[in-house]
């Protein structure tokens, strides 16, 4: 069984690597746009972002401490949302770039740290899948070789039987043309039987 080989485009391979930096950069840019449109030193806007970020972090904590070890995906999404809101709030409230850039660098580093765990898991799963695929191909190749040997043995036996029958028929025809041939004697003694063969025998 042949499985299709999929060649992924270079953009599809590079997209997961740049996604964390792209996400944090987008949040920083939107925060600075918000800053330019009146969010700078706005206590109300800052309080709103603090409440939203704290709420998302609390939801992540509850999700992580849930029954059965918690939901890692939900907790990760909640904490990521909390960090995003915090970064957006600081970028919108601060009057300069140093603090937002510092938080952007921290958020990007954390995002790549979390993504690296997923990439390692995905790489292990991919390697395991490749090993299983290779093992299946080897099994199928072995079965095909065995079947080919069995078919070859059966064909060889059939050809040998056909050749023997042809030689026997030729001998009988030749014998019938010789003087003194007695068909009754041949009937009494019978003709030689074909050799017994086992068509399932493998070489």
Domain positions in the chain are 18-142, 145-189
pLDDT tens readout for residues 83-107: 888 888 888 888 888 888 888 888 8
Measured distance CA(187)–CA(181) in Å, rounded: 12
Q: What is the pLDDT of residues 162-188, one digit of tens each?
A: 888 888 888 878 877 777 666 666 666
Q: Which residues of 137-165 are buried (b: 16+ CB within 10 A; e: fewer)?
A: eeeeeeeeeeeeeeeebeeebeeeeeeee
pTM for this structure? Answer: 0.53
């Amino acid at each position: 069984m042949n499985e299709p080989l999929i060649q992924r485009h270079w953009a599809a391979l590079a997209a997961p690597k740049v996604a964390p930096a792209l996400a944090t950069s987008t949040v920083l840019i939107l925060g600075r746009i918000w800053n330019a449109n009146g969010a700078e030193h706005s206590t109300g806007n800052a309080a709103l972002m603090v409440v939203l970020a704290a709420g998302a972090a609390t939801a992540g904590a509850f999700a992580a401490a849930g029954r059965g070890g918690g939901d890692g995906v939900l907790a990760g999404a909640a904490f990521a949302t909390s960090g995003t809101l915090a970064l957006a709030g600081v970028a919108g409230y601060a009057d300069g770039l140093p603090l937002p850039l510092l938080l952007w660098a921290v958020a990007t580093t954390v995002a790549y740290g979390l993504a690296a765990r997923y990439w390692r898991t995905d790489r292990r799963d991919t390697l395991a899948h490749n090993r299983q695929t290779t093992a299946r191909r080897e099994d199928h190749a072995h079965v095909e070789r065995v079947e080919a040997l069995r078919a070859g043995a059966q064909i060889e036996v059939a050809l040998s039987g056909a050749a023997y029958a042809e030689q026997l028929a030729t001998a009988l025809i030749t014998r019938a043309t010789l003087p003194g041939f007695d068909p009754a004697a041949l009937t009494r003694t019978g003709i030689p039987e074909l050799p017994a063969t086992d068509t399932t025998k493998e070489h």
